[in-house]
Amino acid sequence: MRQALPEMLAVGLRNTLVLSVSAALLGSVLGMVLAVAGIARTRWLRWPARIYTDVFRGLPAAATILLIGVGLAPLGLQVWGPNPYPLGVLALSLIAAGYLGEIFRAGILSVEAAQLEGARALGLSWGAAMRLVIIPQGVRRVLPAWVNQLIALIKDSSLVYFLGLVASQRDLFRIGQDHAATTGNESALLLAGLFYLVLTVPLTHAVNWLDRRLRQGRPSGVQAESDDDAPAPAATHPLPAGPRT
């Protein structure tokens, strides 16, 4: 463990975080596009989003990484050279988008239809109402699920080693595996597992804390209203589909 620790801190931890955070950001953007397309009325928007979601949620992460890393390798060779690192980020992003699209879509559909109707009554277009009123509320409701997907990305980043990264691009798992293969001692792999726990366990507790705060809807320490004084919850209805385009 002492032999592997410096390399895991300097190389493995950095690459694991870069892969995970980059994939989370890119996957979130693409996932939001899929969510909006998935609730559209027009088939040419809705069906491609559904097919994409079904494919990338149905394939194993390892198969997706290999298919993209090997299949797009000639194109990557022309664009940025023999470095497979960007293809690993792309593969993780596409995987995350399939899950995040469904998460965001569920959050958007959970917003009361009266919110959209009120925004339209104030003169906002359907697109502006979605962008300024509905989507921010929907995203807030699914923040715990978004963090859960980030935890899954941190663990899935260990599969990028299939693409044959160079020494400076290895993640925590690959460094532990290399030390175990060289020394015949599995303690480096155990150390890599401890690093993953250090990254994921705090996020898990952060998800639980965030979920409690969102359910309460108020800062801790504020006295809750009695059931008699609390307003009745608004009925939740699916949002009406957007205009045909």
In a domain, 236, yes or no: no
Structure tokens that stand for 106 in this block: 């569920």
Domain contains 155 = yes
Whether residue 12 has pLDDT greater than 80: yes
Percent of the chain with pLDDT over 90: 25
Please state, in angstroms and rounded to a whole number, the distance separating the CA atoms of residues 14 and 172: 9
Q: In this structure, is residue 146 part of a structural domain?
A: yes
Tell me the pLDDT band of 233, cut-offs 50, 70 and 90: very low
Query: Can you give the pTM of this predicted structure?
Result: 0.79
CATH of the domain at 53: 1.10.3720.10
- With 70 as the cut, is the pLDDT of residue 22 above it? yes
**Residue 227 domain-assigned (yes or no):** no
pLDDT given at position 92: 93
Tell me the mean pLDDT in the region 4-31.
Answer: 91
Q: 75: pLDDT confidence band, cut at 50, 70 and 90?
A: confident
222 part of a folded domain: no
Q: Which of 198, 171, 214, 207 is nearest to 84 (CA)?
A: 171
Mean pLDDT (whole number) for 210-227: 58
pLDDT band for 50, please (50, 70, 90 cuts): very high
User: Is 17 a domain residue?
Assistant: yes
User: In the chain, how long is the greatest CA-to-CA distance?
Assistant: 70
Residue 232 lies in a domain: no
Cα 30 to the chain's mean position, in Å? 10
Structure token pair of residue 152: 């899954």
In contact, 196 and 172? CB cutoff 8 Å: yes
CB atoms within 10 A of CB 95: 25
Mean per-residue pLDDT over the chain, rounded:
82
Closest CA to 131 of 103, 111, 102: 111
| pLDDT at residue 241 in the model | 52
What total of structural domains would you count in the chain?
Answer: 1
Residue 12 CA to residue 69 CA, distance in Å, equals 20
Which element (helix H / strand E) includes 139?
helix 135-141
- Residue 153 confidence (pLDDT) above 80: yes
Alpha carbons 104 and 31: distance in angstroms, whole number = 7
Residue 14 pLDDT greater than 60, yes or no: yes
Percentage of the chain with pLDDT > 70? 88
CB 190 within 8 A of CB 31: no
Q: What is the domain range of residue 23? A: 5-216
* Core vs surface per residue 159-194: b (16+ CB within 10 A) or e: bbbbbebeeebbbbbbbbbbbbeeeeeeebbebbee
- pLDDT at 73 > cutoff 90: no
**Helix 61-71 and helix 73-80: axis angle, to 10°?**
60
Q: Is 228 inside a domain boundary?
A: no
pLDDT one-digit tens code per residue, 111-144: 888 888 888 888 888 888 888 888 888 888 888 8
**Choice among 24-28, 177-181, 197-201 with the minimum mean pLDDT:** 177-181
pLDDT of residue 102: 93
Distance, in Å, from the CA atom of 19 to the CA atom of 153, rounded to the nearest integer, reads 8
At 16 the three-state DSSP class reads helix
Residues 186 and 171: beta-carbon distance below 8 Å = no
